[in-house]
Amino acid sequence: MKNLLFIAFLFFQISLFSQIKFENGYYITNSGSRFDCLIKNKDWKGNPNTILIKKDLSSQVESLTISDIKEFGVNGKSQYVRRQVQIDISSDHLDNLSLQREPKFETKNLFLKTLVSGKAHLFQFTEKDGLSKYFFSLDGGETTQLIYKRYVNDKREIFYNKDFREQIYSQLTCGSKMLEMVRSIEYNSKDLTKVFIGYNTCENVDYNVYKNNNKAQFHLSLRPGLNFYSMEVTTPNEVVYGYIDFGMQTALRVGAELELVLPFNKNKWAVILEPVYASFKSDAVGPLGLYGYYASVNYQYVDINFGVRHKFYLANDALIFANFTYGYVKELGDAKIDFDKRMDIELSQLGNFKFGLGCKFLNKFSGEIQYAFKGQVASDYSNWGADYQGYSIILGYTIF
Protein backbone atom coordinates (compact mmCIF):
# COMPACT_ATOMS: atom_id res chain seq x y z
CA MET A 1 0.00 0.00 0.00
CA LYS A 2 2.88 2.38 0.79
CA ASN A 3 4.37 1.72 -2.64
CA LEU A 4 1.03 2.51 -4.26
CA LEU A 5 0.80 5.81 -2.38
CA PHE A 6 4.32 6.72 -3.48
CA ILE A 7 3.48 5.97 -7.11
CA ALA A 8 0.27 7.99 -6.81
CA PHE A 9 2.24 10.94 -5.43
CA LEU A 10 4.77 10.67 -8.27
CA PHE A 11 2.03 10.61 -10.90
CA PHE A 12 0.36 13.58 -9.25
CA GLN A 13 3.56 15.61 -9.54
CA ILE A 14 3.96 14.65 -13.20
CA SER A 15 0.31 15.50 -13.87
CA LEU A 16 0.79 19.02 -12.50
CA PHE A 17 3.54 19.55 -15.05
CA SER A 18 1.70 17.86 -17.89
CA GLN A 19 -1.52 19.83 -17.47
CA ILE A 20 0.02 23.29 -17.94
CA LYS A 21 -0.56 23.78 -21.65
CA PHE A 22 -1.19 27.22 -23.11
CA GLU A 23 -2.24 27.97 -26.68
CA ASN A 24 -2.19 31.09 -28.83
CA GLY A 25 -5.22 33.28 -28.28
CA TYR A 26 -6.42 36.78 -27.46
CA TYR A 27 -8.65 38.77 -25.15
CA ILE A 28 -10.46 42.10 -25.42
CA THR A 29 -10.70 44.41 -22.43
CA ASN A 30 -13.75 46.40 -21.37
CA SER A 31 -12.27 49.45 -23.10
CA GLY A 32 -12.07 47.56 -26.40
CA SER A 33 -8.30 46.98 -26.50
CA ARG A 34 -7.24 43.63 -27.94
CA PHE A 35 -4.20 41.74 -26.64
CA ASP A 36 -2.60 38.62 -28.05
CA CYS A 37 -1.63 36.12 -25.38
CA LEU A 38 -1.34 32.47 -24.45
CA ILE A 39 -4.51 30.95 -22.98
CA LYS A 40 -4.78 27.76 -20.96
CA ASN A 41 -7.18 25.91 -23.24
CA LYS A 42 -9.30 23.63 -21.08
CA ASP A 43 -11.69 22.87 -23.94
CA TRP A 44 -14.47 23.84 -21.58
CA LYS A 45 -17.51 21.58 -21.45
CA GLY A 46 -19.43 24.39 -19.81
CA ASN A 47 -18.93 28.14 -20.09
CA PRO A 48 -16.11 29.58 -17.97
CA ASN A 49 -16.21 32.66 -15.77
CA THR A 50 -12.41 32.83 -15.44
CA ILE A 51 -9.49 32.14 -17.77
CA LEU A 52 -5.76 31.75 -17.18
CA ILE A 53 -3.40 33.58 -19.52
CA LYS A 54 0.30 34.28 -20.05
CA LYS A 55 1.54 37.26 -22.03
CA ASP A 56 4.41 35.14 -23.33
CA LEU A 57 6.12 31.84 -22.52
CA SER A 58 8.29 33.35 -19.80
CA SER A 59 5.54 35.37 -18.11
CA GLN A 60 3.66 34.54 -14.92
CA VAL A 61 0.18 33.07 -15.12
CA GLU A 62 -2.58 35.67 -14.74
CA SER A 63 -6.27 35.19 -14.04
CA LEU A 64 -8.92 37.17 -15.93
CA THR A 65 -12.58 37.09 -14.92
CA ILE A 66 -15.79 37.87 -16.75
CA SER A 67 -15.76 41.36 -15.19
CA ASP A 68 -12.27 42.06 -16.61
CA ILE A 69 -12.80 41.22 -20.29
CA LYS A 70 -15.64 41.14 -22.78
CA GLU A 71 -14.25 38.59 -25.24
CA PHE A 72 -11.54 35.96 -25.55
CA GLY A 73 -10.65 33.18 -27.93
CA VAL A 74 -8.23 30.39 -28.72
CA ASN A 75 -7.00 30.95 -32.25
CA GLY A 76 -8.79 28.79 -34.80
CA LYS A 77 -10.63 26.82 -32.11
CA SER A 78 -13.04 28.78 -29.97
CA GLN A 79 -14.46 32.19 -29.17
CA TYR A 80 -16.37 33.40 -26.09
CA VAL A 81 -18.17 36.76 -25.84
CA ARG A 82 -19.64 38.41 -22.76
CA ARG A 83 -23.29 39.28 -23.06
CA GLN A 84 -25.94 40.50 -20.65
CA VAL A 85 -28.89 38.31 -21.53
CA GLN A 86 -32.30 37.21 -20.37
CA ILE A 87 -31.90 33.46 -19.73
CA ASP A 88 -34.64 30.98 -18.87
CA ILE A 89 -33.98 29.53 -15.41
CA SER A 90 -36.87 27.03 -15.48
CA SER A 91 -35.87 23.56 -14.33
CA ASP A 92 -35.54 20.80 -16.92
CA HIS A 93 -35.48 17.98 -14.35
CA LEU A 94 -38.51 15.71 -14.65
CA ASP A 95 -39.45 16.08 -10.98
CA ASN A 96 -39.37 19.87 -11.14
CA LEU A 97 -40.87 20.73 -14.52
CA SER A 98 -42.95 23.90 -14.47
CA LEU A 99 -46.69 24.10 -15.02
CA GLN A 100 -46.08 27.24 -17.07
CA ARG A 101 -45.43 27.17 -20.80
CA GLU A 102 -43.65 30.52 -20.80
CA PRO A 103 -39.97 30.82 -19.79
CA LYS A 104 -38.95 32.26 -16.43
CA PHE A 105 -36.30 34.81 -17.35
CA GLU A 106 -33.46 36.16 -15.24
CA THR A 107 -30.84 38.73 -16.28
CA LYS A 108 -27.26 37.45 -16.17
CA ASN A 109 -23.81 38.37 -17.48
CA LEU A 110 -22.45 35.29 -19.22
CA PHE A 111 -19.63 34.20 -21.49
CA LEU A 112 -21.42 32.72 -24.48
CA LYS A 113 -19.62 30.31 -26.79
CA THR A 114 -19.77 31.39 -30.43
CA LEU A 115 -20.91 28.65 -32.79
CA VAL A 116 -21.48 30.80 -35.90
CA SER A 117 -20.48 34.43 -36.50
CA GLY A 118 -21.67 36.53 -39.42
CA LYS A 119 -24.71 38.65 -40.20
CA ALA A 120 -26.52 36.24 -37.87
CA HIS A 121 -24.65 35.00 -34.81
CA LEU A 122 -25.40 31.78 -32.94
CA PHE A 123 -24.19 31.25 -29.37
CA GLN A 124 -24.31 28.42 -26.85
CA PHE A 125 -24.43 28.39 -23.07
CA THR A 126 -24.08 25.07 -21.22
CA GLU A 127 -25.37 24.75 -17.66
CA LYS A 128 -23.47 22.86 -14.95
CA ASP A 129 -25.85 19.91 -15.39
CA GLY A 130 -24.94 19.70 -19.09
CA LEU A 131 -28.13 21.31 -20.45
CA SER A 132 -27.37 23.63 -23.39
CA LYS A 133 -29.27 26.80 -24.24
CA TYR A 134 -28.82 28.75 -27.45
CA PHE A 135 -28.84 32.47 -28.20
CA PHE A 136 -28.73 34.54 -31.37
CA SER A 137 -28.21 38.08 -32.56
CA LEU A 138 -28.84 39.69 -35.92
CA ASP A 139 -26.87 42.57 -37.45
CA GLY A 140 -25.09 43.22 -34.15
CA GLY A 141 -28.37 43.72 -32.30
CA GLU A 142 -29.59 42.39 -28.97
CA THR A 143 -28.64 38.84 -28.01
CA THR A 144 -31.80 36.78 -27.41
CA GLN A 145 -32.36 33.25 -26.17
CA LEU A 146 -33.90 30.76 -28.57
CA ILE A 147 -36.76 29.31 -26.55
CA TYR A 148 -37.13 25.62 -25.89
CA LYS A 149 -38.79 24.46 -22.70
CA ARG A 150 -40.32 21.29 -21.29
CA TYR A 151 -43.33 21.78 -19.04
CA VAL A 152 -46.22 19.74 -17.62
CA ASN A 153 -49.95 20.02 -17.05
CA ASP A 154 -51.87 19.13 -13.89
CA LYS A 155 -51.65 15.43 -14.83
CA ARG A 156 -47.85 15.64 -15.12
CA GLU A 157 -48.00 15.05 -18.86
CA ILE A 158 -44.98 16.55 -20.64
CA PHE A 159 -45.35 19.24 -23.29
CA TYR A 160 -42.79 21.23 -25.29
CA ASN A 161 -42.50 24.93 -25.96
CA LYS A 162 -40.63 25.10 -29.28
CA ASP A 163 -40.90 28.82 -29.92
CA PHE A 164 -37.30 28.79 -31.22
CA ARG A 165 -38.65 27.69 -34.60
CA GLU A 166 -40.96 30.70 -34.84
CA GLN A 167 -38.16 33.00 -33.66
CA ILE A 168 -35.83 31.79 -36.38
CA TYR A 169 -38.49 31.84 -39.09
CA SER A 170 -39.59 35.40 -38.25
CA GLN A 171 -36.06 36.81 -37.90
CA LEU A 172 -33.96 34.89 -40.43
CA THR A 173 -36.02 35.53 -43.54
CA CYS A 174 -34.20 34.70 -46.75
CA GLY A 175 -36.02 32.66 -49.36
CA SER A 176 -38.22 29.56 -49.21
CA LYS A 177 -35.38 27.22 -48.24
CA MET A 178 -35.25 28.77 -44.75
CA LEU A 179 -38.85 27.71 -44.12
CA GLU A 180 -38.06 24.15 -45.15
CA MET A 181 -35.05 24.06 -42.83
CA VAL A 182 -36.91 25.55 -39.85
CA ARG A 183 -39.77 23.05 -40.00
CA SER A 184 -37.53 20.08 -39.25
CA ILE A 185 -34.85 21.46 -36.93
CA GLU A 186 -34.38 20.28 -33.37
CA TYR A 187 -32.92 22.20 -30.44
CA ASN A 188 -29.29 21.10 -30.72
CA SER A 189 -26.03 22.60 -31.92
CA LYS A 190 -25.88 20.54 -35.11
CA ASP A 191 -29.30 21.55 -36.44
CA LEU A 192 -29.09 25.19 -35.34
CA THR A 193 -25.60 25.62 -36.76
CA LYS A 194 -26.83 24.30 -40.10
CA VAL A 195 -29.66 26.85 -40.16
CA PHE A 196 -27.43 29.82 -39.31
CA ILE A 197 -24.88 28.77 -41.92
CA GLY A 198 -27.74 28.54 -44.41
CA TYR A 199 -28.97 32.03 -43.58
CA ASN A 200 -25.53 33.67 -43.81
CA THR A 201 -24.91 31.86 -47.09
CA CYS A 202 -28.28 33.01 -48.44
CA GLU A 203 -27.41 36.61 -47.49
CA ASN A 204 -24.06 36.21 -49.29
CA VAL A 205 -22.02 37.41 -46.31
CA ASP A 206 -18.80 36.14 -44.78
CA TYR A 207 -19.19 33.93 -41.74
CA ASN A 208 -17.12 31.75 -39.43
CA VAL A 209 -18.01 28.42 -37.85
CA TYR A 210 -16.37 27.36 -34.60
CA LYS A 211 -16.33 23.61 -34.38
CA ASN A 212 -15.31 21.36 -31.54
CA ASN A 213 -12.74 19.11 -33.19
CA ASN A 214 -12.83 16.72 -30.25
CA LYS A 215 -15.05 13.76 -30.98
CA ALA A 216 -16.07 10.73 -28.99
CA GLN A 217 -13.68 7.88 -29.76
CA PHE A 218 -13.84 4.15 -29.17
CA HIS A 219 -10.74 2.08 -28.47
CA LEU A 220 -10.36 -1.67 -28.00
CA SER A 221 -7.30 -2.97 -26.17
CA LEU A 222 -6.01 -6.38 -25.17
CA ARG A 223 -4.67 -6.31 -21.59
CA PRO A 224 -2.87 -9.40 -20.30
CA GLY A 225 -0.99 -9.27 -17.04
CA LEU A 226 -0.17 -10.85 -13.71
CA ASN A 227 -2.24 -10.76 -10.52
CA PHE A 228 -0.54 -10.81 -7.13
CA TYR A 229 -3.45 -11.50 -4.81
CA SER A 230 -3.86 -12.81 -1.28
CA MET A 231 -6.75 -14.46 0.54
CA GLU A 232 -7.24 -14.61 4.30
CA VAL A 233 -10.13 -16.52 5.84
CA THR A 234 -11.68 -15.52 9.15
CA THR A 235 -13.45 -18.32 11.02
CA PRO A 236 -16.14 -18.33 13.75
CA ASN A 237 -13.65 -19.74 16.26
CA GLU A 238 -9.92 -19.71 15.58
CA VAL A 239 -9.24 -22.22 18.36
CA VAL A 240 -11.46 -24.80 16.69
CA TYR A 241 -11.04 -23.87 13.04
CA GLY A 242 -7.70 -22.09 13.05
CA TYR A 243 -6.59 -19.08 11.02
CA ILE A 244 -6.40 -19.66 7.28
CA ASP A 245 -3.93 -17.62 5.26
CA PHE A 246 -3.47 -18.71 1.66
CA GLY A 247 -0.72 -16.13 1.21
CA MET A 248 0.15 -14.15 -1.90
CA GLN A 249 -0.38 -16.09 -5.13
CA THR A 250 0.62 -15.15 -8.68
CA ALA A 251 -1.73 -15.87 -11.56
CA LEU A 252 -2.36 -14.78 -15.14
CA ARG A 253 -5.13 -12.32 -15.90
CA VAL A 254 -6.50 -11.73 -19.39
CA GLY A 255 -8.65 -8.72 -20.18
CA ALA A 256 -10.17 -6.89 -23.14
CA GLU A 257 -10.93 -3.22 -22.56
CA LEU A 258 -13.42 -0.99 -24.38
CA GLU A 259 -12.70 2.71 -23.87
CA LEU A 260 -15.07 5.55 -24.76
CA VAL A 261 -13.13 8.82 -24.90
CA LEU A 262 -15.46 11.72 -24.13
CA PRO A 263 -15.55 14.70 -26.55
CA PHE A 264 -14.66 17.51 -24.14
CA ASN A 265 -11.86 18.76 -21.89
CA LYS A 266 -9.28 17.90 -24.58
CA ASN A 267 -10.31 14.21 -24.57
CA LYS A 268 -8.86 13.77 -21.09
CA TRP A 269 -11.82 11.81 -19.69
CA ALA A 270 -12.96 8.36 -20.71
CA VAL A 271 -15.39 5.67 -19.61
CA ILE A 272 -13.93 2.16 -19.56
CA LEU A 273 -15.37 -1.34 -19.52
CA GLU A 274 -13.06 -4.34 -19.10
CA PRO A 275 -14.07 -7.99 -18.63
CA VAL A 276 -11.17 -9.92 -17.09
CA TYR A 277 -10.61 -13.63 -16.64
CA ALA A 278 -8.62 -14.35 -13.48
CA SER A 279 -8.05 -17.08 -10.93
CA PHE A 280 -6.63 -17.72 -7.48
CA LYS A 281 -5.34 -21.16 -6.53
CA SER A 282 -3.52 -22.43 -3.49
CA ASP A 283 -2.51 -25.92 -2.42
CA ALA A 284 -3.63 -27.26 0.93
CA VAL A 285 -2.49 -25.36 4.02
CA GLY A 286 -2.55 -26.93 7.46
CA PRO A 287 -2.88 -28.64 9.80
CA LEU A 288 -5.38 -26.12 11.10
CA GLY A 289 -7.32 -25.73 14.32
CA LEU A 290 -8.28 -28.27 16.90
CA TYR A 291 -8.92 -31.04 14.39
CA GLY A 292 -5.85 -30.54 12.23
CA TYR A 293 -7.69 -30.24 8.94
CA TYR A 294 -6.32 -28.94 5.64
CA ALA A 295 -7.78 -26.33 3.30
CA SER A 296 -7.16 -25.45 -0.36
CA VAL A 297 -8.79 -22.99 -2.73
CA ASN A 298 -9.64 -22.97 -6.42
CA TYR A 299 -11.26 -19.69 -7.42
CA GLN A 300 -11.86 -18.86 -11.10
CA TYR A 301 -13.98 -15.91 -12.14
CA VAL A 302 -14.78 -13.19 -14.65
CA ASP A 303 -14.35 -9.69 -13.25
CA ILE A 304 -16.34 -7.09 -15.23
CA ASN A 305 -14.80 -3.71 -14.43
CA PHE A 306 -16.59 -0.45 -15.14
CA GLY A 307 -15.25 3.01 -14.34
CA VAL A 308 -13.57 6.22 -15.42
CA ARG A 309 -10.13 7.19 -16.67
CA HIS A 310 -8.37 10.54 -16.58
CA LYS A 311 -5.46 11.23 -18.89
CA PHE A 312 -2.51 13.60 -18.55
CA TYR A 313 -0.82 14.31 -21.88
CA LEU A 314 2.97 14.59 -21.83
CA ALA A 315 3.49 14.81 -25.60
CA ASN A 316 1.68 13.94 -28.82
CA ASP A 317 2.58 10.27 -28.47
CA ALA A 318 2.82 9.84 -24.68
CA LEU A 319 0.45 10.14 -21.76
CA ILE A 320 -0.12 8.91 -18.23
CA PHE A 321 -3.51 7.95 -16.84
CA ALA A 322 -5.38 7.11 -13.67
CA ASN A 323 -8.30 4.68 -13.47
CA PHE A 324 -10.98 4.18 -10.85
CA THR A 325 -13.24 1.19 -11.41
CA TYR A 326 -15.68 -1.15 -9.75
CA GLY A 327 -15.68 -4.84 -10.62
CA TYR A 328 -18.78 -7.05 -10.81
CA VAL A 329 -17.69 -10.67 -10.33
CA LYS A 330 -19.12 -13.86 -11.83
CA GLU A 331 -17.67 -17.11 -10.48
CA LEU A 332 -16.76 -19.89 -12.90
CA GLY A 333 -17.01 -23.61 -12.23
CA ASP A 334 -16.70 -24.98 -8.71
CA ALA A 335 -15.34 -21.90 -6.92
CA LYS A 336 -14.80 -22.89 -3.30
CA ILE A 337 -12.51 -23.33 -0.32
CA ASP A 338 -12.06 -27.09 -0.04
CA PHE A 339 -11.74 -28.64 3.43
CA ASP A 340 -10.85 -32.27 4.03
CA LYS A 341 -12.75 -32.66 7.33
CA ARG A 342 -15.68 -30.25 7.14
CA MET A 343 -18.12 -28.69 4.70
CA ASP A 344 -16.62 -26.59 1.94
CA ILE A 345 -17.12 -22.82 1.63
CA GLU A 346 -18.69 -21.74 -1.67
CA LEU A 347 -17.11 -18.52 -2.89
CA SER A 348 -19.26 -15.61 -4.02
CA GLN A 349 -17.99 -12.04 -4.36
CA LEU A 350 -20.12 -8.94 -4.44
CA GLY A 351 -17.35 -6.97 -6.16
CA ASN A 352 -14.64 -4.48 -5.22
CA PHE A 353 -13.07 -1.16 -6.14
CA LYS A 354 -9.78 -0.78 -7.99
CA PHE A 355 -7.38 2.08 -8.61
CA GLY A 356 -4.80 2.03 -11.37
CA LEU A 357 -1.96 4.20 -12.62
CA GLY A 358 -0.34 3.74 -16.00
CA CYS A 359 1.28 5.19 -19.09
CA LYS A 360 0.74 4.83 -22.83
CA PHE A 361 3.05 5.38 -25.81
CA LEU A 362 2.45 5.78 -29.54
CA ASN A 363 -1.31 5.37 -28.90
CA LYS A 364 -0.68 1.60 -28.88
CA PHE A 365 1.38 0.30 -25.98
CA SER A 366 0.51 0.72 -22.32
CA GLY A 367 1.49 -0.45 -18.88
CA GLU A 368 -0.45 -0.18 -15.64
CA ILE A 369 -0.13 -0.96 -11.95
CA GLN A 370 -3.55 -1.62 -10.46
CA TYR A 371 -4.45 -1.97 -6.80
CA ALA A 372 -7.58 -3.92 -5.82
CA PHE A 373 -9.09 -2.89 -2.52
CA LYS A 374 -10.23 -5.56 -0.08
CA GLY A 375 -13.25 -7.55 -1.25
CA GLN A 376 -15.31 -10.19 0.50
CA VAL A 377 -15.51 -13.50 -1.40
CA ALA A 378 -17.51 -15.46 1.16
CA SER A 379 -20.45 -13.08 1.08
CA ASP A 380 -23.07 -15.83 1.45
CA TYR A 381 -21.89 -16.69 4.98
CA SER A 382 -22.58 -14.67 8.11
CA ASN A 383 -19.94 -16.25 10.37
CA TRP A 384 -17.15 -16.91 7.85
CA GLY A 385 -15.20 -14.33 5.89
CA ALA A 386 -12.63 -14.40 3.12
CA ASP A 387 -10.74 -11.17 2.41
CA TYR A 388 -9.42 -11.01 -1.14
CA GLN A 389 -7.12 -8.22 -2.34
CA GLY A 390 -3.90 -7.51 -4.18
CA TYR A 391 -2.38 -5.75 -7.13
CA SER A 392 -1.83 -6.36 -10.84
CA ILE A 393 0.81 -5.53 -13.41
CA ILE A 394 -0.90 -5.09 -16.77
CA LEU A 395 0.43 -4.66 -20.31
CA GLY A 396 -1.82 -3.37 -23.04
CA TYR A 397 -1.98 -3.23 -26.81
CA THR A 398 -4.63 -1.05 -28.49
CA ILE A 399 -6.08 -2.69 -31.60
CA PHE A 400 -8.02 0.41 -32.67
User: Model confidence over 131-150: pLDDT tens digits?
Assistant: 899 999 999 899 999 999 99
- CA 245 to chain CA centroid, Å, is 39
3-state class (DSSP) for residue 14:
helix
Q: Are strands 144-146 and 269-288 parallel, antiparallel or unpaired?
A: unpaired
Residue 11 pLDDT: 55
Residue 234 pLDDT: 80
The span from the CA of 167 to the CA of 11, in Å, is: 51
How many Cβ atoms are within 10 Å of 170's Cβ, its own excluded? Answer: 9
Phi, psi of 207 (to 5 degrees): -150, 160
List pLDDT tens digits, range 225-274: 999 999 888 877 777 777 788 889 999 999 999 999 988 777 889 999 99
Ranges of the chain with pLDDT below 70: 1-20, 212-214, 315-316
Amino acid making up residue 201:
T
Please say whether the dihedral angle defined by the alpha carbons of residues 301, 231, 306 and 93, taken in this order, is positive or negative: positive
Residue 384 pLDDT: 79
3-state class (DSSP) for residue 160:
strand
Half-sphere exposure in the Cβ direction for 73 (13 Å, CA):
15
The span from the CA of 110 to the CA of 145, in Å, is: 12
The span from the CA of 249 to the CA of 230, in Å, is: 6
In this structure, are residues 62 and 38 in contact, taking their beta carbons and an 8 Å threshold?
Answer: no
Length of the chain: 400
Residue 240 pLDDT: 72
In this structure, are residues 332 and 348 in contact, taking their beta carbons and an 8 Å threshold?
Answer: no
The span from the CA of 313 to the CA of 320, in Å, is: 7
Residue 133 pLDDT: 96
3-state class (DSSP) for residue 341:
coil
- CA-based angle 150:193:191, to the nearest 5? 50
The span from the CA of 271 to the CA of 254, in Å, is: 20
Residue 300's H or E segment, with its range, is strand 293-315
Rounded alpha-carbon distances, angstroms, from residue 298 to 251, 295, 385: 12, 10, 16
Residue 125 pLDDT: 95
Please say whether the dihedral angle defined by the alpha carbons of residues 359, 364, 367 and 372, taken in this order, is positive or negative: positive
The span from the CA of 19 to the CA of 21, in Å, is: 6
The span from the CA of 36 to the CA of 75, in Å, is: 10
| DSSP class of 96 | G
Rounded alpha-carbon distances, angstroms, from residue 244 to 7, 168, 175, 237, 387: 31, 74, 83, 12, 11
Residue 214 pLDDT: 65
Residue 19 pLDDT: 52
